[in-house]
Amino acid sequence: QQQVKQSPQSLIVQKGGISIINCAYENTAFDYFPWYQQFPGKGPALLIAIRPDVSEKKEGRFTISFNKSAKQFSLHIMDSQPGDSATYFCAANDGAYKYIFGTGTRLKVLA
């Protein structure tokens, strides 16, 4: 119940393409869903986050789509750039302090 399942494990996209990463959860108490970006040798950094009262949130080239009934959410990276190559983690929080992270997606954007 505490798991957040993330897919795919790795993703290769051409420059300018759309990168899509999916996550699913079981615990309906989760009410905050952030996405983190991690470059090699660095800690994760918050990219964008959503609460379940909205179905979509967009910040620049990054969009979260949220489907509350299906308990799924996804990250879309539009016009993907080589500089977006990193590992992306979804996470979930139930309003307390503990975050549950997905297993990560390693994205490579080809120039």
CB atoms within 10 A of CB 67: 12
Site for another protein in 6-35 (CB under 8 A): 6, 31-32, 34
Contact assessment for residue 30 and residue 47, using Cβ atoms and an 8 Å cutoff = no
Residue 85 is a binding residue for another protein (CB under 8 A): no
Select 19 or 105, whichever has its Cβ closest to another protein: 105
Written as six digits, the tokens of 80 are: 């993907």
Select 19 or 104, whichever has its Cβ closest to another protein: 104
Name which of 58, 93, 89 is nearest 76 in CA terms. 58
The Cα 107–Cα 19 span in angstroms is 8
How many Å separate Cα 107 from the centre of its chain? 11
* Residue 54 beta carbon to another protein: minimum distance, rounded to whole angstroms: 14
Question: Which of residues 7, 57, 103, 108 is near another protein by CB under 8 A?
Answer: 103
Name which of 21, 8, 11 is nearest 85 in CA terms. 11
Residue 104 is a binding residue for another protein (CB under 8 A): yes
Select 71 or 106, whichever has its Cβ closest to another protein: 106
Query: Which residues of the chain form contacts with another protein (CB under 8 A)?
Result: 6, 31-32, 34, 36, 41-46, 49, 51, 89, 91, 93, 95-104
